[in-house]
Amino acid sequence: MGTHDDVRAHAWEAAGRYAAAFVNDGDRVGLGTGRAAAAGIRALAGRVAEGLMCVGVPTSRASAALARELGISLARMRGPVQVAFDGADLVTPSGLIIKGAGGALVRERIVDDTAGRFLVLVDGPKVADSCDAWGVLPIAVVPFAAAYVAKTLAEFSPSRRSGRSDDELVIIDLTIPAGADWQAVDAEVRATHGVVDTGLFRAMPADIVVGYPDGTVRTLDRLPDGAKG
């Protein structure tokens, strides 16, 4: 019997294969960041090895390194992508998504928002009834304004991460009170000078792909009531 991580890896691989199947010859593909996205990159590399012609637009140095190692041609972000796939820290039935645990939220937003199709890859444990199950909203901040932003948003117990993002931005985690209106909080945070972006995303439930250890997938709009893991 496999370990917990092995079981989850099989689920991410299933979601990754599903996403890679959407890529057509000549597509520019947004390559997300994190373990689920890495599974998608590996699945895409398998198709490239079989003759698929595409170009990847990575959202982080880590994703770029993996794609390059696996033989996927890369390009800069100079125009829209046809397909993008990425992971998430948590997804909800309404399509609200929390991202940013890996600190790549700004590049992910830029790439994902240009995509003709944006696919979110998760496994069962990442599906929850509300964002409260995660409770943390990552934000990317201009370094000059980091102290100001933390003071302005003190009600959310800001916690500054060590180091900086690939774009030299400061990442701050905000603790959001249970029962809060996450979209209203997001709007408040975005209105704060110095905040570049937040980790609250949205996608169509039909584009949120839940992988399972047995190799099957279901999109979020097709999950049975109460089904998660």
Provide mean pLDDT across the span 153-172.
97
Q: Are residues 165 and 104 in contact, defined by beta-carbon separation less than 8 angstroms? A: yes
Catalytic positions are 108
- Does residue 135 sit in the same domain as residue 111? no
- Are residues 74 and 8 part of one domain? yes
The number of folded domains in the chain is: 2
Examine residue 222 and state whether it is found in any structural domain, yes or no.
Answer: no
Q: Do both 117 and 194 map to the same domain?
A: no
Round the CA-based radius of gyration of the chain to a whole number and report it. Answer: 17
One domain for residues 169 and 76: no
CB 87 within 8 A of CB 35: yes
Q: For the residues 70-91, what does the mean pLDDT come to? A: 96
pLDDT at position 4 is 75
The answer on pLDDT for 228 being more than 60 is no
Residues 104 and 156 in one domain: no
Residues 6+ apart with CB under 8 A from 155: none
- 154 and 138, same domain (yes or no): yes
Confidence class for position 77, pLDDT limits 50, 70, 90: very high
What is the arithmetic mean of pLDDT over 63-89? 96
Cβ distance 219 to 205 under 8 Å? yes
The residue-averaged pLDDT of 213-224 equals: 90
More confident site: 118 or 226: 118
Q: Are 157 and 115 members of one domain?
A: no
Token look-up 């996927």 returns 72
**116 and 156 in a common domain:** no
Q: Tell whether the model's pLDDT for residue 67 goes beyond 60.
A: yes
Please give the Cα distance from 8 to 64 (Å, whole number). Answer: 23
Quick one: pLDDT at residue 225? Answer: 59
Using alpha carbons, select from 84, 82, 100 the residue that is nearest to residue 32: 84
Residues 18, 119: one domain? Answer: yes
Is 228 among the domain residues?
no
- How high is the pLDDT of residue 226? 47
Domain membership of residue 11 as a residue range? 4-87+99-124+202-211
Show the tokens assigned to 147.
Answer: 């102290």
- Do 9 and 120 fall within a single domain? yes
Average pLDDT of the chain, as a whole number: 95
Flag whether pLDDT at 223 surpasses 70.
Answer: yes
CA distance 204 to 125: 19
Phi first, then psi: what are they for 195, rounded to 5°? -80, 125
Q: What is the pLDDT of residue 5?
A: 80
Work out the average pLDDT over 40-65: 97
Please indicate, yes or no, whether residues 119 and 174 belong to a single structural domain of this protein. Answer: no
